[in-house]
């Protein structure tokens, strides 16, 4: 029997729900065998970029920031459309992946991350990069599709390793999901965004008083429970407008608004454009 890892009862793994929605669109995997000395300049423009050295090392400079050493198997994640440069004096094999992210939920997840994350080769990320390297050296059927999926795995594994560092300065949404009380509330919100949640209900699920829960939620997440719920619903609405042909009334029902008018008013306040304008521009 198949069991989902992101069920309602799994309150300790809110990250799974978040990362499930960070499936970028339009991933492009590129590899290059570079003869020494070499230098690569990338104007970028992608919302998210993954860089790893399969063989050899490199010096990575992102948007004029202090250079970083990219050793074999290490992974750099560039968050935002920043130009970057790679160079080294020895031969190497470079793999990059550019992600064109068009998602309100993705924006919610990526907000608060620094412009560049560096994860040294370790047990988890190193093994995934090794799988990527193996597939690059082969010529079997399905190679392109598998490379895309392996790069997704490199991205998610490296992101999780970085977020789990005690000194990473992870954004509030990640740290909060580890808290038994607030994590339980976040799991409920993500599992049933259309439900008519109240602070009292969420506090009961967290086994706390309303006042204590509200304070703890604000302290850990950085905003009140209802403000977080509103933002989450509107991010989901933005994705439905981009990715489906659902009517505004259907979108409203799916994300917890009474009708299209109520969603339109909240959406316009939040995004600065009407839902129809947002859909047309997508």
Helix (H) or strand (E) holding 71: none
**Rounded to two decimals, what is the model's pTM?**
0.80
* Ramachandran sector of residue 42 (left: φ over 0; alpha: ψ -120 to 50; beta: rest): beta
Q: Quote the tokens at residue 16.
A: 């799974």
Helix (H) or strand (E) holding 6: none
| pLDDT score for 8 | 37
Q: Where in the chain is the domain with CATH 2.60.120.280?
A: 14-163
The dotted CATH code for 14-163 is: 2.60.120.280
Confidence bin at 149 (pLDDT 50/70/90)? confident
- CB-based contact 146:164 (threshold 8 Å): no
Per DSSP bridges, beta strands 38-42 and 84-88 are antiparallel
| Contacts of residue 133, Cβ cutoff 8 Å, sequence gap at least 6 | 54, 55, 93
- CB-based contact 160:13 (threshold 8 Å): no
Q: Where in the chain is the domain with CATH 1.10.10.60?
A: 174-281
- CB-based contact 265:234 (threshold 8 Å): no
Q: For the chain, how big is the Rg over CA atoms in Å?
A: 21
The dotted CATH code for 174-281 is: 1.10.10.60
- Starting at the edge strand found earlier in the chain, the sheet holding 38-42 runs 38-42, 84-88, 58-62, 68-70
- CB-based contact 84:56 (threshold 8 Å): no
- CB-based contact 121:161 (threshold 8 Å): no
Rounded distance, CA 66 to CA 248, Å?
46
5-14, 136-145, 223-232, 246-255: the lowest-pLDDT one: 5-14
Rounded distance, CA 225 to CA 213, Å?
9
Q: What is the pLDDT of residues 197-252, one digit of tens each?
A: 999 999 999 999 999 999 999 999 999 999 999 999 999 999 999 989 999 999 99
Confidence bin at 67 (pLDDT 50/70/90)? very high
Q: Tell me the three-class secondary structure of 50-82, residue by residue.
A: EEEEEECCEEEEECCCCCEEECCCCEEEEECCC
Q: What is the pLDDT of residues 166-201, one digit of tens each?
A: 888 888 878 888 899 999 999 899 889 999 999 999
């Amino acid at each position: 029997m198949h069991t989902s890892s992101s069920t309602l009862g799994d309150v300790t793994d809110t990250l799974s729900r978040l990362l499930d929605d960070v499936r970028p669109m339009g991933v492009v995997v590129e590899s290059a065998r570079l003869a020494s000395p070499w230098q690569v300049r990338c104007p970028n423009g992608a919302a998210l970029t993954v860089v790893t050295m399969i063989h050899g090392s490199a010096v990575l400079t992102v948007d004029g920031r202090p250079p970083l050493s990219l050793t074999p198997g290490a992974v750099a994640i560039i968050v935002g459309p920043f130009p970057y440069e790679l160079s080294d004096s020895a031969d190497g094999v470079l793999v990059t992946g550019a992600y064109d992210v068009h998602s309100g939920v993705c924006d919610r997840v990526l907000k608060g991350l620094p412009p560049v994350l560096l994860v040294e080769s370790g047990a988890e990320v190193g093994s995934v990069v090794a799988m990527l390297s193996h597939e690059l050296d082969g010529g079997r059927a399905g190679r392109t599709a598998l490379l895309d999926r392996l790069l997704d795995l490199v991205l998610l594994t490296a992101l999780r390793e970085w977020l789990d560092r005690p000194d990473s300065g992870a954004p509030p949404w990640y740290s909060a999901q580890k808290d038994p009380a607030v994590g339980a509330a976040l799991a409920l919100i993500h599992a049933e965004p259309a439900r008519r949640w109240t602070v009292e209900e969420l506090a009961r699920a967290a086994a706390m008083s309303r006042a204590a829960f509200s304070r703890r939620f604000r302290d850990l997440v950085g905003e009140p429970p209802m403000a977080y719920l509103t933002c989450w619903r509107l991010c989901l609405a933005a994705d439905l407008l981009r990715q489906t042909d659902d009517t505004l009334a259907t979108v409203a029902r799916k994300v917890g608004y009474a009708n299209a008018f109520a969603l339109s008013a909240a959406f316009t306040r939040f995004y600065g454009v009407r839902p129809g304008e947002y859909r047309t521009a997508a």
